[in-house]
Structure 1
């Protein structure tokens, strides 16, 4: 920290910016200057004399260029601001300063936002920020926006840059006064959730206003308003990312909630003539859920001042909390309630789609001569597909493990696990390889190629989009048959009845008697849905497919969804981080995006088709 802002300090700051470098320095009295890179704007805040206002100062930390100082330091702050404004105006052709301030808590009937701007100059920029602020929605708080003159910012004692200098160097000075609704006026206590929400919305409004200004007035032409955000990510972000990943890596959730005695339980169920609920056994728990939760909540996510990354980390912490609760409640009735919170339930619309599929598609005639692919041949095909991905991204470190403690196929930590008893029809082999390797392994390593670990660990709720993509890939390579669609629909129906209190035996019998599934298929669906105490995850396959088809019909592209294990509403977050150069382009593409023969199907998706049209 420096004691005063000297001429040599100002020269160093300006020199760094002219060289294209980042500026991050302490100022007197705990002030701060942070400029991510040379940019044609600066956001400013001055603590009122003798009354530090840290909550309002925190609003600035969501921006890529800001100064936090004190009113009593105005005299020495003035040459610093002028030097930055003049040098950046020379570089970009114009410059913009936005000073943030809180309205006095004693003032009655003040608007939520008041924009202070020049009366005659650049009315479009003032209109832009007014429009953006009017779009801010807060529950139980009315959004009101007024405008006024920036005269008070141009007069002593507040003046940082005389009006004639502003005109001479093409600098626009705006003020933004906030009503401090995030503070209790009686006690001074802060409402942290409201503060966080408002801070994020104000930061976006400022970025959109600056985007409007710089696109017209300067030589700087960002591709998107989010490209004006911070590109440099401070060390605390990477530390927290690693801490969350470390906790996630300590357990394999799906393996821990999947029975290890599937064959024995099936034999027991058959012997009881399908009348007695089977007994399932699970892997020994390798973690203490309570201890991991303590570690989880010791991670200081509140130190992340980037709103987007802070949201991402809080979201992941919430999911890990739920997962640990589920593991602690495994094989008990409480397991189901956490599962419903984590994976959701079945709404009426999805149930209608599932029942429609089961009504429209007849039960297939049992074919005892189904051509099953030998396991070694399937493993060889899967390894060839992994090698195809590795050609695009040599760091891909995956493989296939054949295990007797796994049912069917499951990808865990980027490896494909194949159960020794897996029965795979030859005509479904390529579809299953695209499902497991071309989607689950691919997105795991696309996520691993990113600096942010959460993209391979998985954002909360990523399973819906993942399974939707995986099932769609089966259709694209021509392996999504009617039997597979019936099974996906059966999982939805079974999850629905599970959440309504239906027993294992009743769910099994419904699949057999009402929907004519054979014994083994009915068993497999019921076991998956009732495992652990009731796992609603299996509804996400059909739900994800329905939502994905709707998303593609709106004209969106498939490729950005493959950047990692994300959910659909994370796309704006991913796009923002791409604009800010925090994330990198997707390194691996699945075979179906590179195959010319599949392009007509991809075009068909854009024109809009329903689940029923896939067959």
Structure 2
């Protein structure tokens, strides 16, 4: 802890900034100066004399350049701010200071935000801040904004600089008063969720304001307002990322909820003339869900100042909590209710689409002697595709495992598991390889190439986009046939009726009698949906495909979706982290994106087509 802000202390900070280095130094009485890298702005908070206000101070921590100090330190703080502003104005041509403060609590008519700025100068910058604050949507609060002169910042005894000095050096001094709605008026204690929400939204408003200021007042042109956010990620972020990944790596969710006795269960069900649900057996549980939950909630995510990364980690913790609850409830009715929270159910629109597909394709393809590719040959083709990925990126450490305790195909931890009894039509082999290797394995290792491990572990709800991409890849390589689309639609129908209370046998007979599925295929679909007690995940294939087609119709590109295992609404978050140089370029591309012959299909998708047009 330092005792005072000395000339020597200030000189060290300016030297660091001159060399383009980060500044992270303690100030007296628990204060802090943090500057991620040379930046043309500074956000400031001063604790009122004798009344520390840690809740309001928390708002500045979401920014890439800030100081937290105390009013008693103002004389020394003036010299520190003057030195930082001088160095940054030399580098950028202008400098902006925004001081945040709590509004007096004794006035009930106080607006949510009060912007203090020059009365006539820089109207565009002040207008940007005002508009951004007005547009904030905070549940239950009226976000009204007033503007006033910054004279009170420039003329009171605690001022940082006089007006003449600001004009002479191309500095802009703004103030922002916040109504303390984020604290209990009686106890003064903050409301944590409201504080977090306002902090996240306010940090973006400040970045957009700085973006306008820099674009207008300096020759520097940031690529995006998010590029003004933090680039350096502190050690606590990497530690928490690693802790969450460690918990996720301790169990293989899909394997633990997939029966290991599929063949025996099928024989039992067939012998009972399809009248009694078979008995399914599962792998022994390798974890204690309660102990892992204790570890999960001991992870101190609240210590992360970066709102974006804190959101990612809270979101992942919530998903892991739900998964552990599902594993603890495996083979009980509660399993299905947690599954609906995690993977969603089936709404009327999706059900109508699925039923429409089954009506449009009422009968399966009748091939008396289908050409089934031998499992070893399929495994060799998959190994060749993995080798294609390894040529692009040395970090691909994958392979194919043929196992007798697997049903069909499952990718787990970046490896392809193939059941010994898998029956794969030869004409579908390449489509399934692009599904499993070109999507699931590729996004796993694209995510693993990033410093943030959550991108390969998987963001909450990533399955919908993953399976949508995987099914679309089947279409792009010419392997999405009518039978495959019927199966995806049937999964949706079975999930819907299961959530409405239908039994295993009810759903099997629905597929067999109403939709003419062959006995074993109807059994496989029903088993997948009813496994574990009711897994609604199988509805995400068709839902993900529909949402992906709409995404492409809006003119978006496929490639950004392959950065890792993310969900669609994470795209702005990923883009922000790319602008901030937290994430790296994607090392792997699927074969279909490199094939010129497939480009017309991609253009057709952007023009806008429905699921029915894929046939």
Distance 1:300 1:184 in 2: 24
Partner of 1:212: 212
Which residue number in structure 1 is paired with residue 274 of structure 2? 274
Residue deviations 1:343-388 (CA, integer Å, cap 9, x gap)? 0000000001100000001312432210111111111110000000
Distance, in Å, in 1 between the alignment partners of 2:374 and 2:449 is 34
Deviation at residue 578 of structure 1 after TM alignment:
0.4
Give the deviation of 1:159 after TM superposition: 1.1
Equivalent position of 1:349 in the other structure: 349
Aligned to 2:120: 120
The CA distance in 2 between the partners of 1:234 and 1:364, in whole Å, is: 56
| 1:431 matched residue in structure 2 | 431
Which residue does 1:471 correspond to in 2?
471
Alignment-derived partner of residue 265 in structure 2? 265
Shift of 1:119: 0.5
| More deviation, 370-379/248-257 | 370-379
1:172 match: secondary structure: strand
Q: Work out the CA distance in 2 between the residues paired with 1:275 and 1:87.
A: 81
Q: Which moved more, 1:137-146 or 1:428-437?
A: 137-146
CA drift at 1:155:
1.5
Alignment of 1:72 with 2:83, yes or no, is: no
Counterpart residue number, 2:98: 98
Report the CA distance between 1:220 and its aligned residue.
2.1
1:62-461 superposed matches below 5 A: 62-461=62-461
TM-score normalised to the size of structure 1? Answer: 1.00
CA-CA distance at 1:116 after TM superposition: 0.1
User: Shift of the alpha carbon at 1:16?
Assistant: 0.6
Alignment partner of 1:45: what SS?
Answer: strand
In structure 1, distance between residues paired with 2:234 and 2:547: 36
1:54 aligns with 2:54: yes
**Displacement of 1:108 after TM fit?**
2.0
Cα distance, 1:190 vs. partner? 1.2
Q: Deviations over 1:422-443 (max 9, x none)?
A: 0010000000000000000000
What is the rounded CA distance, in whole Å, between the counterparts of 1:106 and 1:49 in structure 2? 18
Structure 1 residue 243 displacement after superposition? 0.3
For residues 171 and 365 of structure 1, do their structure 2 counterparts lie closer, same or farther at Cα, with a shift above 3 Å needed? Answer: closer
Q: State the Cα distance separating 1:218 from its structure 2 match.
A: 1.2
Contact 1:152 1:158 in 2 (8 A): no
Deviates more, 1:121-130 or 1:524-533: 121-130
> Where do 5+ consecutive residues of structure 2 fail to align?
none
1:219 and 1:89 map into 2 onto residues whose CA distance is 12
Q: Counterparts of 1:336 and 1:364 in 2: how far apart (Å)?
A: 30
CA distance in 2, matches of 1:439, 1:273: 39
How far the C-alpha of 1:413 sits from its partner, in A, is 0.2
| Structure 1 stretches of 4+ moved >4 Å | none
Check conservation: 1:447, 1:456, Cα contact below 8 A: yes
Aligned 1:493-512 pairs, distance under 5 A: 493-512=493-512
Q: Does 1:531 align with 2:502?
A: no
Give CA deviations for 1:103-146 in whole Å, capped at 9, x if unaligned: 11222210000000001111111111000000001111111000
